[in-house]
Amino acid sequence: MLESIFTGSLSPEVFLICLGASIVYGLVIAFCHSFKNKSSSNLFVALALLPAMVQTVIMLVNGNVGTGVAVAGAFSLVRFRSAPGNAKEITAIFLAMAVGLACGIGYIALGGILAVSLSLLSILFQNGIFQNWGKKDRYLKITMPENLDYEEVFQDIFKEYTGVSELLQVKTVNLGSLFELQYKVQLKSDKKEKDFLDALRVRNGNLELYLARSMDERASL
């Protein structure tokens, strides 16, 4: 069951079997990744087709070292033409590539086991034991006057409203007249989020504040 279906030279029948399996497994990965998850239609299409593309490339290489090096160089250029995704998206992409690799060398059953088991495990983790993991984590950006001590000025507020606060980045803006601070914080209670922001506004002179609700939103800070 877990042996390769390749017995000799590549035949059209074997290629079509591997191609069909790759497309089916890609659809399984795409549907499972989209289950109760905000993902774009572009990512859905990419996950559905990626196993078939990787499988075809692996079959074309078929032990040819020169072709393999050329293909590796071509794939390395892809990262410069695509925006980085979050950890969940990158994991799904790697899964799709692994399944395509398995199908490309003839391990159809192994590719199916990999696609189905890891996709279902991902759904279980996201909607089961890890469903509420990190829900109180926030990414916070504070703009404040440069004459205030950013290391001490907000400490009492963080102590009252957060369980964890970590300063990630400090930079000057507006020709050095303002500081821009970026924090990772974990709120003690979601119900006090507005009180937390109001206390920060009083302390920073009602300058700009930005609070992102998840790690994925940090890029917009």
pLDDT, one tens digit per residue, over 85-120 is: 677 888 888 899 889 888 888 889 999 999 999 999
| pLDDT at residue 76, as a whole number | 61
Give the separation between CA 27 and CA 48, rounded to whole angstroms: 5
pTM of the model: 0.63
- The mean of the pLDDT values for the chain is 82
pLDDT digits (tens, 9 = 90+) for 27-49: 999 999 888 777 778 889 989 99
Grouping H, G, I as helix, E, B as strand and the rest as coil, residue 26 is helix
Query: What's the average model confidence in pLDDT over 136-147?
Result: 88
